[in-house]
Structure 1
Amino acid sequence: MRAQKHSARRRIATFAILDIAVFLALDVYFATTLYIGALRNNPDASWADQFFAHMPAWAVLAAFAPGIFWLSKHQRMGLGRGVRPVLIQVGVSLAWMLLVCSAWILIDVARQPADARQLEDIVSFRLVMTLFDYQWYWLIVAAAHVHHGTRDAIARATEAATLELEKTELERRLARSELDALKAQLHPHFLFNTHHAIAGLIRSGEPDAALELIADLSGMLRYALETEQRPTVPLARELEFTRRFLAIQAVRFKGRLEIEWDVSAACGPVPVPPLILQPLIENAVHHGVSSERTDNFVRVRGHVVGDALELEICNSMAADTEDRAGFGVGLRNVHARLQHLYGDAYTLELELVSASPTPGSSPHQIRLHMILPSNPRAQLRVRPDPARERDKPADDPDHANATYPNAAGG
């Protein structure tokens, strides 16, 4: 409260100083102009006489200026504001003109008593001068509207910028919480399955394979910890994490899962969000591996085309994919994270592809296509479009295609 009062006093003091300074400057300007004109007919003319002669008129305008500003703030004229503010301003200005003119006439008569003829001259002179002051009244109104309009525009821009910053911070926290939730899900669920697989290898007399599995698991956990505070990592590190994940899955499924890699070396240094592939690969395994078939596969392809990184994950489709829980959640989370980092500069597509049916194989495959900027400078996040359908189900297997289109080629 004390700070608000102090701020209000500062604004009033600042306005008073500016008010006096402006009208003193106007008095100086017009006194100088009149003085130069008077020198032509009267070499003995005095600039000080001109300055002090018109000072009372400028002082009256300076005294009324704060009230005019206040009225203009509360009775703002403009399109869509109706005629009421205009009528109020016109009425107040006419009343002000009549008051000022009458006051000056009374002052002049009090200074020097006049007969009827002289009084008529005084009234005529003061009417002319008041009309001059009336123009200045509306100039003050115009200045007040410019001042208040500018302040409102600055306030709106500041509020919009503040809201945008708050929105960006909330989205950053959302992306952070989604990543933390992903890691929390990865740790207990994946650790349980991996420990079960390690125990199975030890019981079956395969200690070397068990040690290799432990090394892969340790590498994955180390990667998750090291990338906790990083917005991006080189794709090579993300692929290393993914290879370890798939290697562990291959051991769990005991030869029923074939893994193929086709990623060019140019993809290695391209920055990507950490753990962006893991939910996609996990979906591919969870929804593509069937205990009834031996031709289960996951293929990962990656290439740099121009300024874009193209990644493709293709996997077999289990017969009961539609009945398995969680289908689509991973893709929506990935979409939300990519949108937060890249704005519209990415593509994420999911489609069902018909395959040549063979005995015991799936007639369909699931293919996921992702395009990201390969230029590190493109990592600067653009403002996300709030109209995007963030909760749109993107991977419904009842549709031939499910796509997140955008400016990057969707």
Structure 2
Amino acid sequence: MTAIAPFIAWLALALFDATQTVVSMRAMGMQHDWWTLFFVIVASWGAWAAATPLALALLRHFPLPSRAMRNWAVHICACLAIGAAWTCWAATLEHAFNPFAYPKGPDPFLPLWKSKFIGNLVGEVILYGAVTALSVTFATRKRLSQQRELLAQAQLAALRLQLEPHFIFNALNAVTGLIREKKDNEAIATIAALGDLLRRVTDRSERQLVALESEADFLRKYLEVQQVRFGERLHWQLDIPAAISGAQVPDLVLQPLVENAIKHGIAKRAKGGTLRVTAARAGEVLTLSVANDGPGLAAPLRDGVGLSNTRQRLQALYGGQQSLQLRDSGQGVLATLTLPYRGQ
């Protein structure tokens, strides 16, 4: 809740109350100083606008709902004090401007204030309760948002740590083989690519989103290292249109899907297979797909650690606006991820 939001809310309520009062009184044929009455009613709500920051501060120090009677006592006293200040201010305005145009002037101040305070007591409780309810609602939403952010960060950390150890060992063994075959340039290129991968997964920044182009670059290096291991058994293609290369996607969101496709698809076939990663935009929806022509899905279908972490992270970041589905495509397995489209 921004600092100006309570002021805007009270101003809207004041304008509504003043308009309704003036219109209804005129409709009943009453004769008053209408512009003065409108001004007095609007100005009287200023007491609540001024007192709301105090009420919010009390709610931070003495939160509600609470089992502590002290918290309830503090807010009961605050409610009565604000109500007294509100009706005192309203009585002062009425006494000063006589908006009802009484020939003899308004009632004496003290009786006027007393009648307003008692007559508006229920309204004062309702208004203070509304301030409390809205404050609790916004605080809860902020807390849930922070919890979702922490969960997403934890899932990202888990994905970074989960880069399969066997992949690293196999890559190092492949480099060793290249060195033995005196393919020094290939060995150096593989080590450089592996270094880039490890630098990315050990990145300590808390960023959650990266450009799709950056995610594709990471996959390209990952697949180049895998290519050293599988050789001609692995064919791959990245189809990322330039028009959506700047789209913001969760960091490392595609790597578990690609790893899963290689491990459970292409690696299962003696002749290997083809892996294809594609991206497309339809309106405000971004679709990312990872397809392989390996064996179909095993039954019963169960997510591994990487997919499970990815699902939880996507839920934390996008709620119900995302989906991650795995299905048999007839020629292998297709993983489809849909996200809200967000540009740079």
Q: Which TM-score tier does this pair reach, normalised by the shorter chain?
A: 0.5 to 0.7
Distance 1:345 1:34, change over 3 A: same
Tell me which residue corresponds to 1:331. 307
| Pairing 1:349–2:303 present | no
Tell me which residue corresponds to 1:120. none
Deviations 1:132-170 (A, max 9, x none): xxxx5xx65551111111111111111111111111101
Tell me which residue corresponds to 1:285. 262
Return the alpha-carbon distance in structure 1 between the equivalents of residues 101 and 239 of structure 2: 85
Deviations 1:89-120 (A, max 9, x none): xxxxxxxxxxxxxxxxxxxxxxxxxxxxxxxx
User: Does the Cα contact within 8 Å between 2:238 and 2:276 map onto a contact in 1?
Assistant: yes
Distance 1:197 1:22, change over 3 A: same
Return the alpha-carbon distance in structure 2 between the equivalents of residues 320 and 369 of structure 1: 14
Larger radius of gyration, structure 1 or 2? 1
Return the alpha-carbon distance in structure 2 between the equivalents of residues 205 and 336 of structure 1: 45
Return the alpha-carbon distance in structure 2 between the equivalents of residues 226 and 257 of structure 1: 28
Distance 1:263 1:22, change over 3 A: closer
Tell me which residue corresponds to 2:154. 177
| Pairing 1:370–2:337 present | yes
Deviations 1:194-237 (A, max 9, x none): 22332233234332222111111122223335583323222111
Return the alpha-carbon distance in structure 1 between the equivalents of residues 254 and 162 of structure 2: 15
Report how far residue 317 of structure 1 moved.
Answer: 3.4
User: Does the Cα contact within 8 Å between 2:285 and 2:340 map onto a contact in 1?
Assistant: yes
Q: Counterpart of 1:294 in 2: which secondary structure?
A: coil
| Pairing 1:206–2:191 present | no
Which one of the candidate residues 115, 124, 130 is aligned to 1:153? 130
Return the alpha-carbon distance in structure 1 between the equivalents of residues 224 and 259 of structure 2: 12
| Pairing 1:298–2:283 present | no
User: Does the Cα contact within 8 Å between 2:297 and 2:333 map onto a contact in 1?
Assistant: no
Tell me which residue corresponds to 1:86. none
Q: Counterpart of 1:213 in 2: which secondary structure?
A: helix
| Pairing 1:164–2:233 present | no
User: Does the Cα contact within 8 Å between 1:287 and 1:321 map onto a contact in 2?
Assistant: no
User: Does the Cα contact within 8 Å between 2:211 and 2:245 map onto a contact in 1?
Assistant: yes
Report how far residue 21 of structure 1 moved.
Answer: 5.3
Output the TM-score relative to the length of structure 2.
Answer: 0.65
Which one of the candidate residues 82, 97, 102 is aligned to 1:33? 102
Matches within 5 A, 1:240-255: 240-255=217-232
Output the TM-score relative to the length of structure 1.
Answer: 0.56
| Pairing 1:235–2:222 present | no
Return the alpha-carbon distance in structure 2 between the equivalents of residues 254 and 11 of structure 1: 75
Return the alpha-carbon distance in structure 2 between the equivalents of residues 246 and 258 of structure 1: 9
Deviations 1:49-71 (A, max 9, x none): x97xx678x28x73xxxxxxxxx
Return the alpha-carbon distance in structure 1 between the equivalents of residues 262 and 166 of structure 2: 14
User: Does the Cα contact within 8 Å between 1:289 and 1:316 map onto a contact in 2?
Assistant: yes
| Pairing 1:274–2:251 present | yes
Structure 1, unaligned runs of 5 or more: 37-49, 63-135, 356-364, 378-410
RMSD of aligned Cα (Å): 3.8
User: Does the Cα contact within 8 Å between 1:283 and 1:327 map onto a contact in 2?
Assistant: no
Equivalent AA in structure 2 for residue 338 of structure 1: L
What is the number of residues matched between the two proteins? Answer: 274
More RCO (CA 8 Å, sep 6+): 2
User: Does the Cα contact within 8 Å between 1:288 and 1:321 map onto a contact in 2?
Assistant: no
Q: Percent identity?
A: 28
